[in-house]
Structure 1
Amino acid sequence: MTTPEPARSREQRRRDTLGRLTNDGDAWVATASPKGRPCLMPLSFVWDRGTLLMCTRRTNPTALNVTPRGEAVVTLGHTRDVVHVEGLAEIVEGSELAGESADAFAAKLRWDPRDRRPWVYLRITPLVVKAWREENELKDRLLMRDGRWLDD
C-alpha cells in the first residue's frame, strides 16, 4: 500500500473540484422514487452557470424521480478521488432551455437534444459539495453548504 499524498487545503480542493466539474463529462446520478426505491444512473453532464446540466428521457426513472421531491445526489470520480454533490433537480424542456446553456451542452457532449422528444434536461443546483481523495481529507471534505462555497 502506498502512502497517501498530504491533504489538500480547502481552497485547493475547491479548485480541483471546479476543474472536475468543468472537464469531466460523466457522473453517477442517484434519485429515489416517492416510495423510496433507489435509482442510480450514469449520465453525461456539462457544468453550466454553477449547475450540472444533464439529459435523459422523460420516462426514465431518474427523470420521474426528480418530479416529486427534486432531490438528487451526483458523484464524479472513483473511490480515491471523489466529488460528491447533493442538490435540487428540476426538469427543463428542451425548447425552454436558454440558448447558451443548450449550446454549451451540445458543444461539450456533441449531442443536441433540444427538439427531441421525449428527452428532457435535468438541471441540478448544488446545495452540498464534498471532495476527498484519501482518509486524511475526510475531516475537511465539506466544501459547500446550503449552496454557498465555504471559502467565499
Structure 2
Amino acid sequence: MTVHEPARSREQRKQDVLTRLEKDEDVWVATAGGPGEPFLVPLSFVQHGGALLISTRRTTPTARNVSPRGRVRLSLGHTRDVVLIDGDAEAVEGPDLPREAADAFAETLGWDPRDRAEWVYLRVTPRTVKAWREENELPDRLLMRNGTWLV
C-alpha cells in the first residue's frame, strides 16, 4: 500500500520550485514544430534574472521550433514531484546575451557556448508555473499565471 504525504501549502510548493530552479541543472524542454510535431529533449539550464537560460545547437529541432512560435514547456522533477513551466522563449546569440548572464551559465554548468558559432542561447521567461506531487495537490497546482506568482 502506498502512503502519500500530506499536501504541501502553495507557499511551500513555490519555495520548492524556487529551490529546484536554483539547484537543478537539467530540464526537459518540449517544443512543437511544423504541423504541431512534438519534440522533447533534456538540456542543461541556469536561472538568471527571472529567466531560464538554455543552450543548444541552432540546428536542433528545439532551436528551430522556438524561433517561429516562441513557446516552450519545461519540466523539472520526476512523475511524483512535477514542476511544469510554460514560457515564452527567444533565441539569443552569444554576443547578444549580457555578459553577466553568460558568465552565470558558464560558471554554473562548467562550459561556455559563447565561442561556439553553431550554438545559441534560449532565454525562457516563465508565464505559467504548476507544481504537484500527488493527486491531493492537484487542486492548488497553479502557482504562477501570466508571469506573476499567485502566492
Q: Is residue 65 of structure 2 the alignment partner of residue 65 of structure 1?
A: yes
SS at match of 1:45: strand
- What's the offset of the Cα at 1:94? 0.5
Q: Is residue 43 of structure 2 the alignment partner of residue 43 of structure 1?
A: yes
- 1:21-76 CA distances to partner (integer Å, 9 max, x unpaired)? 11000010000013211110110000111111000000000000001110000000
- 1:103-128 CA distances to partner (integer Å, 9 max, x unpaired)? 11001100001111110000010000
Which residue identity is paired with 1:39? F
Match of 1:17 in 2: 17
Which residue identity is paired with 2:121? Y
Match of 1:81 in 2: 81
Match of 1:135 in 2: 135
Match of 2:95 in 1: 95
Contact 1:26 1:45 in 2 (8 A): yes
What is the distance in 2 between the residues matched to 1:8 and 1:42? 27
Match of 1:106 in 2: 106
SS at match of 1:78: coil
What is the distance in 1 between the residues matched to 2:6 and 2:139? 13
* Structure 2 unaligned regions, length at least 5: none
RMSD: 0.7
TM-score, length basis structure 2:
0.98
Number of equivalenced pairs: 151
TM-score, length basis structure 1:
0.97
Contact 1:83 1:129 in 2 (8 A): yes
Match of 2:126 in 1: 126
Q: Which runs of 4+ in 1 moved over 6 A?
A: none
What is the distance in 2 between the residues matched to 1:34 and 1:123? 21
Normalized per residue, which structure has more helix?
2
* Structure 1 unaligned regions, length at least 5: none
What is the distance in 1 between the residues matched to 2:9 and 2:42? 29
Identity percentage of aligned residues: 66
Contact 1:55 1:121 in 2 (8 A): yes
- 1:108-150 CA distances to partner (integer Å, 9 max, x unpaired)? 1000011111100000100000000111101100000000000
- What's the offset of the Cα at 1:4? 1.0
